[in-house]
Amino acid sequence: MNILMIATNNIKKAKVATATLIILIAIATIFLYVGISVLSNMDTFIDEKNAETNGAHLISITDGTYDQEIQEIYQSIEAYSYSEREEGMMSMSSSFQNINTGEEANSIPAVFLNLDTAREISQVKIIDQAQNMPKNGVIVPYVLKVANGYQTGDTLKLTVDDASTELEIAGFYEDLMFASPSNVSMYKLFLGYQQFQEFLAQPEYGSKCSYIAVITDDIKGTEAFESQYIKEIKTIMPEGTGSYASLSYGTMKTGVAIFINIIMAVLLSFSIIILAIAAIVIKFSTTTHIENNIKNIGTLEAMGYTTRQILGSILVEYLLMTAVGFMVGLGAALLISPVITNVVSSSIGLRWATGLYPQAVLASLGVITMAVLGISYFSAAKIKKITPLTALRSGIETHHFGKNRIPLDQTRLSLNTAMGFKSLIFNKRQNLIAGLIIMLLSLVTVFSLASYYNFSVDKTAMIKLIGLETAEVQVTALADEAKIFEEIAAMPGVEDTIRLNSFDGMIKFKDKESSANTRVTADYSRLKVNTCVKGRMPVHDNEIAITSIVLDNLGAQMGDTVSIDYNGTTREFLVVGVTQQFNMLGRGAAITTAGMKKLVPSYQEQNLMIYLAEGQDTEKFVTKINNQYGTDKLQTNSYFASIEMMLDSFEASIKIVVTGCLGIIAVIIVFVLFLVIRVRILRERTRLGVSKALGFTANQLIGQILISEMPVIIGAAVVGAIAGYFATNPMLALMLAANGILNCDFYVAPSLVVFTAIGISLLGLVTVLIVAGKIRKISPCQMFEEGVD
Amino acid sequence: MSNTILKAEMLSKTYSNGSIMQHVLKNLNIEIKAGDFTVIMGSSGSGKSTLLYALSGMDKPTLGTIDFKGEAISNYSNDQLAVFRRKHCGFVFQQIYLNDTMTVLDNIMISGLLVSRDKKAIANRAKELLQQVGLSDASYHKYPSQLSGGEAQRVAIVRALINAPEIVFADEPTGALNSTNAVNVLDVMTEVNASGQSIIMVTHDIKTARRANRILYLKDGVIIDELNLGAYRKDDPDRHKILREFLESMGW
Ligand SMILES: Nc1ncnc2c1ncn2[C@@H]1O[C@H](COP(=O)(O)OP(=O)(O)OP(=O)(O)O)[C@@H](O)[C@H]1O
Ligand SMILES: [Mg+2]
């Protein structure tokens, strides 16, 4: 008998344990491989995609009055290589609705460009092109196809205030800029020449703009290039006048990948949780294996096998399982690659191609093999201490014989109850491990259900993480803001209004600096969404709150004094709080209006957040404002609707992932529970058989089994569910730590905890009954004569 | 006085291991009278344990009937069999099979409590029987794996006797005992037998077999012959000689 024979023999004997481990390893492999392959290839993938179309490094959209000056600014920046300018039409309060898919209208700003313009930068390569370009044909971002199900030939209804027109989708294009669902929500749409000219001639759809695309010498320095541009353009155009948008490749690349990075972080965390469960299952089955086979081990030792050889056979056993599990998992990962492709593509808006990535295969194989081997070595290493003699005396040393807590000649318990408790007490160590597994399963269930709820049902916590206000409408006044804002606040249907501005600030600390989207409002306690996670929001004019990402960039912390540069003025602020946000890539800061006035004495907030009363129609309200004030003085948009739209495209992906995880967890729960319970009942088989021989009926024995198993199952399910209640938010925060999230506020419904505890207990009960029920049909002899699993 | 307590007719037991069928008991007839001390002998693998399991209602025969005091227990359901075993049978296993999660005393109590609720009485009787087989108070609260093989065997015998069953089945109860302890155990058995309980015992040991009043010889699942020692007094030296001759003629 060589080591391999012992190993395969063990595998054959422990079928359920083997199947469970293979499934766990396979699932961990799927998550790990997908996570690693997507995360490690994302960067190159985006770069290559961009290179295909010679994608712009920077885009700026302005009203066109300062084209000459802007060109000069670009040329003055060292990394500048060349640029292209074309005419476009900017539509700030546009909303779109695909008539064919039956979706609701989405409010999102858009820039229309002429498809027939010849361009070097950001060339348009049409996917699913219509055979003939219709007169009202429009080429839309590829993300609308993958995430929203748009198809060539669909009718797209464009509404701007009271005017609306129908366009026909004639194809899709891929681009990083203005074409993906991310923090920067604006679409770039291409029209045929004739339609484009008609739009320009009808002012109700938007206004002429100047669209400039720049290529630089340094694709890694595009964000610095943009900062430089913003700094200079402010000296020409005051905030909010003629500059609609600017966007750098670097910002967009991070922005585009942020959701998918979160999803992959979730997958990787899941794979780690599953590996942890696998670890305990390995510990459980090696412990059981050694206890059940201690006599065989003793015999082998007595025959002259060294403990090292026996240990080796156990490691070989797990290595074989790992190999099979890994291959199964890899195969499954490749099989589900269309789903992955869809999730990734709809999150980044670019056509992702899933393939076999050798590095990712090796990396995940490495992680899994190390984990499995390490754990099985440590849990089997105690074999080394077993001498043939102790092994053959069936391991007296392995049990600590305590006091007999339930002496049958004295106890008041009924016979069956007493016997159930005796076996419960006797199997302390096994119970501990089994309980640990069930606890973990229960915890993960609560975590997954809670994630699903917060991602898909009640998104308040998500919105809070993003860090945006929940105002339905946002208006920007170009003049007369004091009067207009007062009038709006008094309008019927308006519940509340808050003046809230933001600007791109450059924050400095010692010799470091970092850009931050700095919010300005008079009283932060009035905001509906509190982003503060440590300390407090600023109250006085010398105070600032900053996100942890910016603080990390600066190397500063609460209590430090930082400074802000604005139009040549520098002022110092004391950091009084730490905030968090996904928005603007987590780069944010907050100062008071009084603080802003120290930088710009004449400062007035021009932005108003409008919170409508329950049941008010946002679109109608926007139209009403536009009609009353005209679009020259006031820019109005449906603020919350565009956040929701961004969330929707994210939701589709997260739903697939969370649903998949829930399904997998259900499978794991059933298998692991079955394994743990079956192994425990099999261990008791001889004992049960003898009891049956002595005259116990099957029902009495099943009752004893229930008493000895259920307290652990119920206890662990309850403890795990409660732990899940408390651990969900810290776990999430840990997963999102890289995105500057310190604190999560996901709602974990108490009913979810109760439901999980009861559900897992019931599942355990059913499993116990199914497994234990088998002893009904078996005769006592069969029970104690058959070998243990 | 000799009325039949257990009677098996045309008893067959077949094990199937995959496609291989093994006929362990073949059309076997056996009748046990109340108060009999029956010994079953035979070579290893001849089916002795299998026969004991079938007679005690622990395993259902493949074919044939078993009557206990005129009732066909071979038609009993599993639960009826369990009740039959707890009320009327005591069993000493070849492999001992004590419950290793319980102390010596509790191992005996679980059997006793199945039949009676009087904890004190059972505990006292258990202690009495333990004394008789030569186990001291020190062993009462030990766990089975802290006992020697012989001590464990004696606990198992006490467990079988605790309910004063009408029939005691014992599968090589003295195999693991030294001669002093074996004699102790056999004395207890003989005493039990003298009080009217039947004993059916498997043994390989001629000195043990000598105590019986009836020897059955099993070969390949068939009782090929039987010897009646009932006519001889227990201390008659001829008993041993006759038994030896019988066994030699069986090719033992
Ligand atoms: N559960 C079983 N499945 C298959 N075969 C069995 C089973 N139990 C016993 N046997 C076979 O039946 C035959 C008789 O077994 P049994 O245990 O009755 O022998 P025995 O006479 O008690 O032997 P020993 O003196 O060694 O105890 C043997 O060949 C054995 O292999
Ligand atoms: Mg036998």
Beta pairing, strands A163-173 & A137-141: parallel
All residue ranges of chain B with pLDDT < 70 are: 1-2
Question: Ligand 1 atom closest to Cα of B15?
Answer: 4
- Please, what's the largest Cα pairwise distance for chain B? 52
Q: Are A580 and A586 in contact (CB under 8 A)?
A: yes
Is the C-beta atom of B35 inside 6 A of ligand 1?
A: no
- Residue whose pair of structure tokens reads 């000219």 in the numeric block: A197
- Residue whose pair of structure tokens reads 């392959």 in the numeric block: A37
Region of residue A718 (phi > 0: left; psi between -120 and 50: alpha; otherwise: beta): alpha
Question: Ligand 1 atom closest to Cα of B42?
Answer: 21
Residue nearest atom 4 of ligand 1, based on CA coordinates: B15
Which of A404, A422, A695 lies at the smallest CB-CB distance from B83? Answer: A695
Over the stretch A226-282, which tens digit does the pLDDT of each residue have?
878 877 887 787 655 666 678 888 878 877 777 787 788 778 888 888 888 888 888
Over the stretch A582-598, which tens digit does the pLDDT of each residue have?
877 788 999 999 999 99
Q: How many A from CA of B57 to the centre of ligand 1?
A: 17
Q: Are A186 and A108 in contact (CB under 8 A)?
A: yes
Domain range annotation of chain A: 93-205, 416-467+643-789, 468-642
Residue A96 above 60 pLDDT?
yes
Looking at the complex, report in whole angstroms how far the Cα of residue A389 sits from the nearest Cα belonging to chain B.
13
Scan residues 693-732 of A and list those with Cβ closer than 8 Å to B: 693-699
Span A429-455, average pLDDT: 86
Tokens at A743, concatenated? 């604190």
List, in order, residues 6 or more apart from A664 with CB less than 8 Å away.
A27, A270
pLDDT bin (cut points 50, 70, 90) of residue A575 is: very high
Q: How many A from CA of B43 to the centre of ligand 2?
A: 9
- Is B120 within 8 Å of A409 when comparing Cβ atoms? yes
Span A33-53, average pLDDT: 89
Tell me the chain B residues in contact with residue A423 when contact means C-beta distances shorter than 8 Å.
Answer: 101
Interface test with B, best of A694, A705, A707, A788 (most B CBs within 10 A): A694
What pLDDT does residue A223 have? Answer: 82
Three-class SS of residue A513? strand
Tell me the chain A residues in contact with residue B111 when contact means C-beta distances shorter than 8 Å.
Answer: 694-695
Average pLDDT, chain B: 91
Q: Is B246 on the interface with A (CB under 8 A)?
A: no
Span A434-456, average pLDDT: 87
Is the C-beta atom of B103 inside 6 A of ligand 1?
A: no
Beta pairing, strands A473-477 & A607-612: antiparallel
Nearest by Cα to A378 from A291, A271, A308, A286: A286
What pLDDT does residue A789 have? Answer: 36
Lowest-pLDDT range of A482-496, A510-524, A642-656, A678-692: A642-656
Scan residues 382-411 of A and list those with Cβ closer than 8 Å to B: 393-396, 399, 401, 404, 407-410
d(CA A389, CA A122): 78
Interface test with A, best of B106, B148, B166 (most A CBs within 10 A): B106
Q: How many CB atoms lie within 10 A of CB A688?
A: 26
Nearest by Cα to A237 from A485, A60, A59: A60
Q: Are A190 and A138 in contact (CB under 8 A)?
A: yes
Note the ipTM here: 0.89
- Is B59 within 8 Å of A779 when comparing Cβ atoms? yes
Which of B91, B98, B123 lies at the smallest CB-CB distance from A693? Answer: B91
Domain range annotation of chain B: 4-249
List the A106-107 sheet strands across, edge first. A106-107, A94-98, A155-160, A163-173, A137-141, A187-191, A110-114, A80-91, A207-216, A58-62, A243-248
What pLDDT does residue A735 have? Answer: 80
What pLDDT does residue A275 have? Answer: 86
pLDDT bin (cut points 50, 70, 90) of residue A487 is: very high
Is the C-beta atom of B62 inside 6 A of ligand 1?
A: no
Is the C-beta atom of B45 inside 6 A of ligand 1?
A: yes
What pLDDT does residue A786 have? Answer: 60
pLDDT bin (cut points 50, 70, 90) of residue A397 is: very low
Q: Is B114 on the interface with A (CB under 8 A)?
A: yes
What pLDDT does residue A103 have? Answer: 82
d(CA A562, CA A559): 10
Over the stretch A646-693, which tens digit does the pLDDT of each residue have?
677 667 777 777 788 878 877 887 888 788 878 877 778 888 888 999
Looking at the complex, report in whole angstroms how far the Cα of residue A779 sits from the nearest Cα belonging to chain B.
6
List the B71-72 sheet strands across, edge first. B20-33, B4-17, B63-68, B71-72
Looking at the complex, report in whole angstroms how far the Cα of residue A708 sits from the nearest Cα belonging to chain B.
12
Whether the full predicted model's pTM is greater than 0.80, yes or no, is no
Q: Is B116 on the interface with A (CB under 8 A)?
A: no
- Which residue of B lies nearest to A393 if distances are taken between CA atoms? B145
Q: Are A170 and A133 in contact (CB under 8 A)?
A: yes
Q: Are A583 and A469 in contact (CB under 8 A)?
A: no
Pick the CATH number of B4-249 from 3.40.50.300, 3.20.20.140, 3.40.50.720, 3.40.190.80: 3.40.50.300
Tell me the chain B residues in contact with residue A686 when contact means C-beta distances shorter than 8 Å.
Answer: 97
Scan residues 9-28 of B and list those with Cβ closer than 8 Å to A: none
